[in-house]
A and B are shown apart, each in its own frame.
Chain A
């Protein structure tokens, strides 16, 4: 079916003409009232930990690099993949860890985030820095700054003039409950997730 016929079918089902005026869409009656704007860091931490994420608050980029190293040591990971941006480049430059030759072989992915949503403990990841570092490895470490926090998704999308090809809101580790609704962590995407927040 071509586009014109398809739209015509829809239009005739609605008994409308193409020229008919469209009533304005309803306005948001309510905001999502489950955030505490007074302490976004604390709320993010609570929510993030509640879904099984590990949260670390540090004071500087240097401390952030050290934290990365600490997590890596504990995990016995050998190869890594990084998102393509300045912050992560400077963080990993300090600790010299090997980049995997084949991305899908990497044990841990380290990336930045576009912003963080406090009321759900969510990282917003976007495609311009690459999608795979936060997706393919079994572990993901995100290095972020506290000023990137917003209360809810509404503020995250406010004032955006265009969307990246992929905007991903990640909340905690990959999980499934497809077998008897039993929660199981780490199916296709990272099962271990850490956020290192520079304050």
Chain B
């Protein structure tokens, strides 16, 4: 996918006109939100667990050097090969070299956002290694040459009608196949891939420092297959995935599925601790872990933004966000959409090309309220806005306008006369008690899809003069 974070506004306008997208988004986000609410309310102490998980993550991030080191040395003791990459390019080089060295022809992949971030599939294909996405949503996207629009429901921007058509064209399934039939077709095709693959690549939901375990959460079973069948298993993970202890995990596994899909528990949670043991009947002989920075240490070095690294990618902030609900994930122009994307993307890609994202928000506060690790998302969005202003990225007219506004707001006399002129002026543009078309910048934008009532002739402060004595 080409990064188009700089073009959010245009992307969004297109998205609003895309009928299929609008249908799919309304269906999906409504379901997500309702399911989450139900799952949360069935738990007595969600708020307590939320505070705990937020605190554990915050603590881990503050001491990330320590826990990373502990995690790495535990991996090494388990006989895992650990690799490190500063950026996507280096990461791709490591993976492709490993694949070529081990004579890998086919890779099965379990859903992983970080591999989307670094475009790993393209890199593998470029050296002649087939990379097969095995998560149903990801598989649909791969078939269609499309990319994810949601961090846990990657294909949620598509309607079932679109997917039926896609499968019919690419896989020869029935023209009117049901969702069950589509799923069965995918199972059959992908099972062949699993059985022939030489390497499985997964991401990681959590990495337990104390034990060197990789924790993977899923519903389909494709991650279990990816980590069990091929003789080599590679985990690609961002450096922020660490939690300190095994005993921290139950709380995270309680809030994650409830926040993400509204389940009490996901169908499968796998804790992978080292490669197959000698006495194990099956499992991968070799395990590799690739830890990626790719901009994360910049966020880490930024005490105000650091909180964003707590994210456990549940997607709840996307689902609840009314902007996301309306425009979908692609409009944001990169792998991480919605509120957390608007916070992370500027940190990972720089504000220059992403400063429209933190503006794509009415500051309604809903995201901050649902986040299971209590990331203060609205505050961080505002922080980005303030930085954009400081870095001179905001529109000139806006800067002048706000400056003048602030000056008047601190000089009441001037405020009174200026607002009076404004109100009088508006009377001239009025028809039937509403402002008719206008060329004045702010008003023009407002009037695009909405009406504006003509302000009353007399302001409140003018009316107060009579009101005062009325008592």
Contact = CB atoms under 8 A, between A and B. Distances in A.
Contacts of A33: 43-45
Interface stretch (B177-185, B327-335, B418-426): B177-185
B153 A181 contact: yes
Interface residues of B, number: 100
B393 interface: no
Contact of B136 (A6, A173, A176): A176
Contact of B267 (A14, A158, A167, A175): A175
A169 B437 CA distance: 62
B114 interface: no
A23 interface: yes
A178 B143 CA distance: 14
A157 interface: yes
B249 A153 contact: yes
B137 interface: yes
B56 A179 contact: no
Contacts of B414: none
Interface string A80-119: 0000100000000000000000001000000000000001
Contacts, number: 260
B231 interface: no
A178 to B, nearest CB: 4
Nearest to B180: A184
A178 B221 contact: no
A128 B279 contact: yes
Interface in A171-194: 171-182, 184, 186-190
A34 B43 contact: yes
Interface size class of A (residues with CB under 8 A): 35 or more
Contacts of A162: 273
B124 to A, nearest CB: 20
A15 B24 CA distance: 46
A38 interface: no
Interface in B215-246: 219-222, 224-225, 227-228, 239, 244-246
Interface in B271-304: 271-277, 279-283, 291, 293, 297-298, 300-301
B283 A187 contact: no
A106 to B, nearest CB: 13
Interface stretch (B9-17, B78-86, B383-391): B78-86
A157 B273 CA distance: 14
B244 A132 contact: no
A188 B268 CA distance: 12
Given A104-B195, A170-B268, A84 B60 contact: no
Interface stretch (B65-73, B339-347, B361-369): B65-73
A44 to B, nearest CB: 12
A168 B136 CA distance: 21
Nearest to A157: B246
B277 A10 contact: no
A39 interface: no
Which of B59, B239, B264 has most A Cβ within 10 Å?
B264
Given A135-B228, A153-B249, A165-B273, A180 B159 contact: yes
Interface stretch (B250-258, B399-407, B445-453, B455-463): B250-258
A165 B283 contact: yes
Contacts of A9: 86, 293, 297
Given A14-B65, A33-B45, A168-B270, A179 B275 contact: no
A172 to B, nearest CB: 6
Contacts of A18: 65
A177 B250 contact: no
Contact of B48 (A30, A158, A178): A30
Contacts of B134: 188
B101 to A, nearest CB: 18
B140 A1 contact: no
B283 A166 contact: yes
B156 interface: yes
Given A32-B254, A180-B24, A187 B52 contact: no
B221 A179 contact: no
A178 B135 contact: yes
Contact of A178 (B56, B155, B190): B155
Interface in A69-85: 84
B270 A166 contact: yes
Contacts of B269: 168-169
Given A32-B49, A175-B219, A84 B160 contact: no
A25 B239 CA distance: 18
B63 A22 contact: yes
Given A10-B300, A26-B55, A172-B267, A180 B247 contact: no
A36 interface: no
Nearest to B253: A153
Nearest to B273: A163
B149 interface: no
Given A10-B239, A25-B60, A180-B159, A127 B268 contact: no
Contacts of A131: 224, 228, 280-283
Given A179-B163, A184-B179, A187-B222, A7 B68 contact: yes
Given A187-B220, A189-B220, A179 B182 contact: yes
Contacts of A168: 224, 268-271
A29 B276 contact: no
14 contacts: A1-B86, A3-B72, A11-B65, A15-B301, A34-B44, A104-B191, A130-B282, A132-B228, A163-B213, A166-B270, A168-B271, A174-B268, A176-B220, A188-B224
Interface of A: 1-3, 5-7, 9-16, 18, 22-23, 25-26, 28-30, 32-34, 47, 51, 84, 104, 119-122, 127-132, 135-136, 152-154, 157-158, 160, 162-182, 184, 186-190
Nearest 5 A/B pairs, CB to CB: A189-B221, A178-B137, A13-B301, A30-B48, A188-B221
